[in-house]
Amino acid sequence: MAVYRGSEVFEGEIGQDVRIETSDTFNTRYRLFVTSRRYDWCLNFSPAVEYDISFVDNATGSEVFTINGRGCEPDVLKHFQDALGDVH
């Protein structure tokens, strides 16, 4: 399980009246991380890739969904779409 909270921004002034504000840098609830590497070509001339796809909840920093593996690029997209359908 991955935990990623991202960065926080601290703004303010140091002086007679000290006011420091903190805020998260994320504007969305979820973040998508995708890594892939082409290692060969498939018989249909599409790239053969290794991939890792993860959704992280920005509110908790926890990994909500992940898939990884190897395959032809069009098959990876189909696998991703099928996995998203299973999440509902």
Question: If you average pLDDT over residues 67-77, what whole number do you get?
Answer: 91
| Residue 33 in this model has a pLDDT that exceeds 70 | yes
Task: Give the largest Cα separation in the chain, rounded.
Answer: 71
Kindly report whether the global pTM for this prediction surpasses the value 0.95: no
The tokens 């935990």 sit on which residue?
3
How far, in Å, CA of 22 to CA of 16, rounded?
19
- Of 15, 16, 14, 53, which is closest to residue 37 (Cα–Cα)? 53
Burial class of residue 56 in the structure, from the number of CB atoms within 10 Å of its CB (0-12 exposed, 13-18 middle, 19+ buried): buried
1 pLDDT band, cuts 50/70/90, is: very low
* pLDDT for residue 39 is more than 60: yes
* Overall average pLDDT of the 68-87 stretch: 86
Q: Is residue 64 predicted with pLDDT exceeding 80?
A: yes
